[in-house]
């Protein structure tokens, strides 16, 4: 009898110890999750959020695969990722339409946890080193809109079930969705102050910020940098003859054409009025003149359709300058930037004085030279 009581006491002590261990484990897990939630809510950049979810989170919570699929129909997130100048972490997938999301989740998205089914779940994971045993699919929703899905996979068979930690998972989905919405709203507010409302291009403020950054980068790595000033010819006459509505239409069409000649790393901005500016990253003077001449030719050939069937033709004058010809004489970054812009500005005014619809560049010696007199050949469109 005494032996049975001792055995029962031992069993109860073991059960109590297991419960205490589980309670401590849950408390530690809760603390980690609370810390994770605070970090997510305090993040101010998309890159921080992606890095934390796709790199830090798998290590911290011992997950074998984490992916984040985000709906990005207007390529807004893609632009933010590109502008961060950093490689996006593995596991990020941008969807430009919602069809695959709704095909999986249906009209009423809900968290799914359970067995990993290869034919169902493989497309939602990436770079699998080992086949998962279970998966958690977390739809990210805010204000009734599906933003994407966060997907967690583990080789542990019982890691994700409705009986094990579903509250934690549901809370995580909500926090990630809130953090993502907050960050995107912050970025939109920033862009409102840095974007020209009419053309959708960057504005003067954005250009000035990037100019200093690109000068620093160019000088640090001894790489070329060229500036183009583009001025629409006789633009006042367009407004006077056709009205400001047509003038706005002309500027929007010109902006559309200019976009064709800038790469992702270049900087295009509406500088003010009918003036535009481009920074060509890693392009020297010869390459910049080639780009400027192609822009001039395309604008000269374009015909803008007006209400009533009329066509509007326009031309531009373009000035070109290159960084290193001015940086040799100056050390202060603000002075270098101002000197570069002054050279391009001086060149565009020379183009105006020479009859407009032409490209003039300033060489290393400070001489203003029309593109047709350049010592290198200009390749036509």
pLDDT confidence band for 157 (50 / 70 / 90): confident
pLDDT at position 325 is: 77
CATH number of 205's domain: 3.30.70.270
In total, the chain counts a number of residues equal to 381
* In a domain? residue 381: no
Q: What is the average pLDDT value for the chain, to the nearest integer?
A: 86
> Is the confidence at residue 28, as pLDDT, over 90?
no
pLDDT at position 230 is: 98
Least confident of 105-119, 291-305, 322-336, 365-379: 322-336
- What percent of the chain lies above the pLDDT cut of 90? 49
pLDDT at position 67 is: 95
pLDDT at position 345 is: 96
* H or E segment and range at residue 369: strand 368-370
Q: Where in the sequence is the domain holding 283, given as residue range(s)? A: 196-373
Identify whether residues 209 and 355 lie together within a single domain: yes
Q: Per residue in 78-110, pLDDT tens? A: 878 876 767 788 899 999 899 999 999 998 899
Identify whether residues 58 and 100 lie together within a single domain: yes
DSSP string, 161-195: BTTBSHHHHHHHHHHHHHHHHHHHHHHHHHHHHHB
274 is catalytic: yes
pLDDT confidence band for 200 (50 / 70 / 90): confident
Count CA atoms closer than 13 A to 132's CA, side-chain side: 30
> Is the confidence at residue 164, as pLDDT, over 60?
no
Per-residue burial over 126-162, b = 16 or more CB atoms within 10 Å of its CB, e = otherwise: eeeeeebbbbbbbbbbeeeebbbbbbbbbbeeebbee
Catalytic residue among 253, 274, 293, 322: 274
Question: Is the whole-model pTM more than 0.85?
Answer: no
Q: Which of 161, 177, 193 represents a domain boundary (last residue)?
A: 193
Structural domain total, the chain: 2
Q: Which of 146, 175, 193 represents a domain boundary (last residue)?
A: 193
Identify whether residues 37 and 92 lie together within a single domain: yes
């Amino acid at each position: 009898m005494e032996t049975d009581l001792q055995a029962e006491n031992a069993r109860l002590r073991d059960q109590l110890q297991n419960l205490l261990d589980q309670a401590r484990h849950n408390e530690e897990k809760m603390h980690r999750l609370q810390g994770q939630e605070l970090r997510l809510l305090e993040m101010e950049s998309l890159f921080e959020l992606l890095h934390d979810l796709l790199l830090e989170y798998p290590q911290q919570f011992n997950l074998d695969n984490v992916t984040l699929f985000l709906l990005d129909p207007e390529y807004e997130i893609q632009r933010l990722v590109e502008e961060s100048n950093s490689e996006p972490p593995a596991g990020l997938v941008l969807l430009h339409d919602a069809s695959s999301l709704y095909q999986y989740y249906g009209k009423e998205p809900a968290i799914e946890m359970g067995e990993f089914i290869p034919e169902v779940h493989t497309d939602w994971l990436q770079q699998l080193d080992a086949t998962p045993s279970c998966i958690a699919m977390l739809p990210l929703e805010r204000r009734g809109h599906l933003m994407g899905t966060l997907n967690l996979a583990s080789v542990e068979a019982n890691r994700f079930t409705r009986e094990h930690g579903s509250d934690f998972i549901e809370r995580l989905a909500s926090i990630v969705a809130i953090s993502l919405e907050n960050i995107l709203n912050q970025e939109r507010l920033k862009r409102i102050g840095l974007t020209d409302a009419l053309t959708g291009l960057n504005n003067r403020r954005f250009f000035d910020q990037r100019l200093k950054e690109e000068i620093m980068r160019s000088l640090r790595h001894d790489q070329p940098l060229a500036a183009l000033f583009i001025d629409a010819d006789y633009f006042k006459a367009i407004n006077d003859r056709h009205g400001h509505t047509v003038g706005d239409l002309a500027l929007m069409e010109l902006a559309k054409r200019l976009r064709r000649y800038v790469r992702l790393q270049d900087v295009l901005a509406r500088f003010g009025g009918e003036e535009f500016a481009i920074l060509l990253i890693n392009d020297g003077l010869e390459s910049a003149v080639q780009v400027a001449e192609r822009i001039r030719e395309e604008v000269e050939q374009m015909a803008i359709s007006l209400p009533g069937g009329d066509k509007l033709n326009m031309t531009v004058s373009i000035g070109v300058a290159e960084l290193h010809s001015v940086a040799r004489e100056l050390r202060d970054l603000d002075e270098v930037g101002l000197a570069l812009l002054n050279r391009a500005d001086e060149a565009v005014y020379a183009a105006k004085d020479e009859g407009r619809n032409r490209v003039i560049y300033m060489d290393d010696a400070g001489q203003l030279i029309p593109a047709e007199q350049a010592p290198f050949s200009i390749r036509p469109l």
